Amino acid sequence: MDDLETQLKRLMLSGLDGDAVAHRRLMGLLSERLRAYFMHRMASAPADVEDLVQETLLAVHLRRESYDRAQPFTAWVFAIARYKLIDHWRRRRVRATTPLGDVEDFLAADTVLPDDGLDLTRALASLPPRQRALVENVKIVGLSLSEAGAQAGVSEGAAKVALHRALKRLAGRMRHANA
């Protein structure tokens, strides 16, 4: 358990310093943890699990600044996951029948295989064409930001800003997808 905290925190700290490889690895590990945690608590709506995983990953990514480097990382992530789960229940008017658990449950849950996220697909389709193309180029084609920017006819800096904006918009759209 301590190993996971140490490992995740190290990746988070590198990511905060701008290391994209560490950040990708962190998001990958977190997606497994989140999927397992939500799966246990959303037995009545398993189809929503992946949507919530993706929404939470977006929130963790976009709100990285709220992490205090001096504090445990898993407690911070778990607080965000819990908030997202409660918010999901509230929006779907599901009464909480499963306990929220604590950070130990979050760390210990079994891993599960991912599904497709339908909400995110829909949210992506609703983005303005240029933003959508940018996200698709970096996510599917695997282009670097400068390559994707060049394809869209903008500088790497402009592509960076546009991608960040697109992700913020995705997060907002997802939350309103089933409000």
Dihedral of the CA atoms 33, 39, 41, 46 (nearest 10)? 150
Q: What is the number of alpha carbons within 13 Å of residue 148 lying toward its C-beta?
A: 23
Judged by CB under 8 A, which of 31, 42, 107, 127 binds other proteins? Answer: 31
Report in angstroms how near the CB of residue 99 gets to other proteins at its nearest: 18
Q: Does 56 bind other proteins (CB under 8 A)?
A: no
Type of residue at 100: L
Q: Which stretch binds other proteins (CB under 8 A): 1-9, 36-44, 62-70, 92-100?
A: 62-70
Direct distance between the N- and C-terminal alpha carbons of the chain, in angstroms, rounded to an integer: 36
Among 40, 112, 151, 160, interactor with other proteins by CB under 8 A: 160
Sorted by sequence, the CB contacts under 8 Å of residue 174 that are 6+ apart come out as 51, 54, 55, 58, 119, 120, 123
Q: How far is the CB of 7 from other proteins (least distance, A)?
A: 17
CB 5 within 8 Å of CB 73: yes
Q: What is the dihedral of CA 18, 139, 159, 66, to 10 degrees?
A: -40
For other proteins, give the closer residue by CB, 94 or 167. 167
Contact (CB, 8 A) for 80 and 66 = no
Is 41 near other proteins (CB under 8 A)?
A: no
In angstroms, give the least distance from the CB of 95 to other proteins: 20
Asked if 107 touches other proteins (CB under 8 A), the answer is: no
Nearest to 163 by CA among 143, 150, 145, 177: 145
1 contacts other proteins (rule: CB under 8 A): no
Of 2-10, 27-35, 37-45, 92-100: span binding other proteins (CB under 8 A): 27-35
| Residues at the contact surface with other proteins, assessed by CB under 8 A | 15-21, 23-24, 27-28, 31, 50, 53-54, 57-59, 61-69, 71-72, 75-76, 78-80, 82-83, 87, 114, 116-117, 120-121, 124, 135, 138-140, 142, 144-145, 148, 160, 163-164, 167, 171, 175
